Each structure stands twice: as C-alpha cells, then as structure tokens.
C-alpha cells in the first residue's frame, strides 16, 4: 500500500480481555517497529522485526505483550489480560531495510487502545 | 543509557522564528531526527542530521547539532499557524530503533 496502515484505529476493551492490533507496512519494507505512546509522552520502543524475526524485543513491558510477523509483512501485536495502564496509542512504523543507511521510518496513524 | 529531553512548550508569534531544543545522552547516536505530530495524525519526519554534521538546512528548517554538548536544535523560520504541532526529537543508535523525547508543543499566535 501507499503508507503504513494500522487497524483498528480505535479499540475499547474491558480489563482482562485479549486484544490484537494489526499493522500493514509499506510493501517491500523489511524492517517493522512497534512503539507505544502514552498521553503527553513521546513514542516508546516496544519491538523491532527484521523480516519474520524479532531482532529486538527488549521494549516489551512484560510477558502479556507479544508480536508476530509470520510472513515478513503484516504484523500483529497481541496483548493478553489487558490492564488499564495499557491504554495508549500503539504506533507501527516500517523502513526499507532498517540498516545503518536507512534514514527514514514511516509511521502509521496508530491504534488508540482504551482499557476500561 | 538513552535519554532524550525537550522543553514542554513554546509559544511564538506568526512570522517569528521558533527554536526548539533537545538534549540527548547516548554518544553513539548515528542519526538525530525531528518529527512533527499534529492532532489526530501520525508522526511525520521533518528532517534528520547525521552525527558527523553540525548543521543542516532544508527550506525554512535549520538543524544545529553540538555533539560535544549532546545538544540538538530545530529552527523554523517565518513560523506559520500551520506549524502549530508537537515536535519530537529522536535519536537512532545501534539498537536500530528510535528513542524519542517527550515532545515540545509549539503554539503559533496569529
């Protein structure tokens, strides 16, 4: 597609439920990133994929958070047993290679998750 | 460790120059970025500078980098009301992901 697409744009869920957030990167981009942006803060790194594998998942806050990218394109961020503190905007970005000379990551519009 | 800091708020009059400042701590930063975020919109890359440069100009935008002091600034000349947004400074280090500051809200008064 023309840009990074994230669905849904808004998600309201009850505490304790499971949610999945989807990211469609720009076609051909091998690097994909998930960030989380809480109100009044900058985006915080969660996980980075290079192709199908998670090259760096050090930003995932705990084992309730998991992400996959089985075919090296679409990625899904999964959150189990959601808590109110998980409420935030979840941003996805992709870049062509993720290598040292790859200077631009393109961001999606984000999914606003609200846990009630 | 990685830490990027910015002041929270800046107000200027239309037509004036705006200067948004940022400090970072990771001396291994290779690229430093400025992103713009408007309400309800995604992050838009404005400009970036490689760590071996000290200045970059791109139309109304001037980026200054003082690597010794780990200080980055973004100057917007002839600021317009459409420039009102939140501006994020970010650094790219060896971990291959961006570390963002908490953003500076720029308010442009007509």
Q: How many other CB atoms are there within 10 angstroms of residue B44's CB atom?
A: 13
Report, as an integer, the average pLDDT of A5-21: 97
Whether the CB-CB separation of B90 and B32 falls below 8 Å is answered with yes
| Closest CA in chain A for residue B96 | A98
Instruction: Give percent of chain A with pLDDT exceeding 90.
Output: 87
A-chain CB neighbours of B99 within 8 Å are: 45
DSSP, collapsed to helix, strand or coil, labels residue A37 as: strand
pLDDT mean by block of 10 residues, chain B; 110 residues: 84 97 86 90 90 93 94 97 96 80 96
Interval A40-78: pLDDT, tens? 899 999 999 999 999 899 999 999 999 999 999 999 999
pLDDT value for B1: 45
Across the interface, do B97 and A44 touch by the CB < 8 Å criterion?
A: no
CA–CA min distance A69, chain B (Å): 17
In the sheet with B4-6, reading across from the earlier edge strand, the strands are B4-6, B18-24, B71-76, B61-66, B55-58
């Amino acid at each position: 597609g023309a840009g990074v697409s994230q669905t849904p744009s808004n998600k309201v869920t009850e505490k304790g439920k499971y949610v999945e957030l989807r990211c469609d990167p720009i076609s051909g981009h091998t690097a994909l990133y998930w960030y989380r942006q809480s109100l009044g803060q900058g985006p915080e790194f969660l996980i980075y994929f290079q192709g199908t594998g998670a090259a760096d998942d050090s930003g995932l806050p705990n084992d309730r958070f998991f992400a996959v990218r089985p075919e090296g394109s679409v990625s899904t961020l999964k959150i189990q047993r959601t808590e109110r503190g998980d409420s935030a905007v979840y941003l996805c970005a992709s870049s062509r290679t993720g290598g040292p000379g790859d200077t631009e990551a393109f961001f999606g519009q984000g999914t606003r998750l609200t846990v009630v | 460790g990685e830490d990027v800091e910015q002041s929270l708020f800046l107000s200027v009059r239309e037509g004036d120059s705006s200067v948004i400042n940022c400090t970072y701590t990771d001396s291994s930063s290779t690229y430093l970025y400025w992103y713009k975020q408007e309400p309800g919109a995604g992050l838009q890359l404005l400009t970036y500078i490689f760590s071996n440069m000290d200045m970059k100009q791109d139309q109304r935008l001037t980026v200054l980098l003082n690597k010794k002091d780990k200080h980055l600034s973004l100057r917007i000349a002839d600021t317009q009301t459409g420039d009102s947004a939140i501006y994020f400074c970010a650094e790219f280090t060896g971990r291959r992901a961006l570390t963002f500051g908490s953003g500076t809200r720029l308010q442009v008064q007509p």
